[in-house]
């Protein structure tokens, strides 16, 4: 569920460096995303840094930040800006494309390519019982191509989940909403709410423990594949470390999908980081083989004809 709207969005018609803001598209705990138009009239998505735990905007353009929150706010803004710079260097079809970044009004804005489609979360809610094994493999093999590019550039995503995977109208996935800003904020202000998403976060993310790496994102990919089949997140890792009640995929969907796919999901969800696939490439190779005949018993995938939707990358 999105957080309550506590900050005033920028008004329709607002201009920054030739970009005209049209309307709010989505809101998260750390940002607001808008539909806007560039100087040539091309639609873009603009993500504004505005963490509601640190800043308030009830009137006007400037966020109001208390002296007590100023250091954490500035640190988070720098991480947001640096995240934009890092993503702008990546040009991969399965990673959100950052086109520009702007500084104004005591905050930062990331200008991103505007995509037509919907999130995987929306597809799960609408079609999960129709998911075919080929659809699951196809989405995640392509997504992992993007994640390999992220890891090759010494970055981690740290917040992979169905709502952060955008499906274009042709079914091609796009990885959006990286977690670097949220991690930087909680590192500088431990009183802020945790940045991980229960069910998808690996156990080493709880308390920002050391030892995070590509295998941390691999856990989240496995949890997201599990959610595609279950239509719900798996048991959170912190409670699994106390009493593991997660039903393995090999038991829960035996005979409905190939054993190899179900074993791959279970291996991604192992609590021991060293026991998981250690890279996106290793996981991609595990998902590449053709599925066993059992997969053909599931219903047709909705991926071939996804309905177009006027939806943005999530905030």
Tens-binned pLDDT, residue by residue, of the chain (315 aa): 555 667 899 999 999 999 999 999 888 788 899 999 999 999 999 999 999 889 999 888 899 999 999 998 998 898 888 888 888 888 999 999 999 989 999 999 999 999 888 999 999 999 878 889 999 999 999 999 999 999 998 888 989 999 999 999 998 999 988 765 445 444 555 544 556 789 999 999 987 777 899 999 999 999 999 999 999 999 999 999 999 999 999 999 999 999 999 999 999 999 999 999 999 999 999 999 655 455 443 333 444 433 333 334 444
The answer to whether residues 47 and 315 touch, using CB atoms and an 8 Å cutoff, is: yes
Walk me through the domains of the chain, giving residue ranges and CATH numbers.
18-113 (3.30.200.20), 117-305 (1.10.510.10)
Beta strands (DSSP E) in the chain are 15-16, 19-27, 31-37, 43-49, 55-56, 64-65, 98-104, 107-113, 117-119, 165-168, 173-175
- How far apart (Å, rounded) are the C-alpha atoms in residues 202 and 216? 6
Q: Is the dihedral of CA 132, 125, 265, 313 positive or negative?
A: positive
Q: 64-65 and 55-56: which strand pairing?
A: antiparallel
Task: Give the pLDDT score at 295.
Answer: 44
Backbone torsions φ then ψ of 118, nearest 5 degrees: -155, 170
Task: Give the pLDDT score at 304.
Answer: 40
- How far apart (Å, rounded) are the C-alpha atoms in residues 261 and 286? 8
The HSE-up count of residue 150 (CA atoms within 13 Å, CB side) is: 33
The answer to whether residues 163 and 33 touch, using CB atoms and an 8 Å cutoff, is: no
Task: Give the pLDDT score at 311.
Answer: 36
Task: Give the pLDDT score at 195.
Answer: 62
Please give the model's pTM, rounded to 2 decimal places: 0.83
């Amino acid at each position: 569920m999105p957080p309550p709207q506590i900050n005033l969005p920028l008004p329709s018609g607002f201009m920054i460096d030739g970009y005209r803001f049209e309307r709010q598209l989505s809101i998260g705990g750390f940002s607001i995303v808008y539909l806007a138009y560039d100087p040539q009239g091309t639609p873009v998505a603009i993500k504004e840094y505005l963490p509601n735990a640190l800043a308030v905007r009830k009137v006007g353009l400037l966020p109001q930040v208390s002296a007590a929150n100023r250091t954490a706010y500035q640190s988070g803004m720098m991480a947001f800006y640096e995240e934009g710079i890092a993503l702008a260097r990546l040009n991969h079809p399965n990673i959100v494309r950052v086109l520009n970044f702007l500084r104004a009004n005591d905050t930062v804005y990331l200008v991103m390519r505007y995509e037509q489609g919907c999130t995987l979360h929306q597809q799960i809610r609408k079609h999960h019982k129709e998911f075919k094994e080929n659809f699951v493999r196809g989405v995640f093999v392509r997504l992992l191509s993007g994640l390999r590019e992220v890891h090759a550039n010494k970055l981690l995503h740290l917040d992979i989940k169905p709502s952060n995977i955008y499906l274009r109208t042709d079914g091609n996935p796009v990885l959006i909403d990286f977690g670097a800003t949220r991690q930087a904020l909680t590192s500088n202000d431990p009183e802020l709410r945790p940045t991980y998403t229960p069910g998808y976060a690996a156990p080493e993310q709880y308390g920002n423990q050391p030892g995070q790496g590509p295998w941390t994102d691999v856990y989240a990919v496995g949890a997201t594949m599990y959610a595609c089949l279950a239509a719900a997140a798996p048991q959170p890792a912190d409670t699994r470390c106390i009493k593991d009640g997660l039903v393995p995929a090999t038991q829960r969907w035996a005979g409905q999908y190939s054993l190899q796919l179900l074993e791959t999901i279970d291996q991604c969800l192992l609590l021991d980081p060293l026991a998981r696939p250690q890279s996106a490439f290793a996981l991609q190779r595990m998902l590449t083989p053709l599925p066993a005949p059992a997969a053909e018993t599931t219903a047709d995938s909705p991926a071939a004809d996804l309905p177009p939707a006027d939806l943005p990358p999530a905030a």
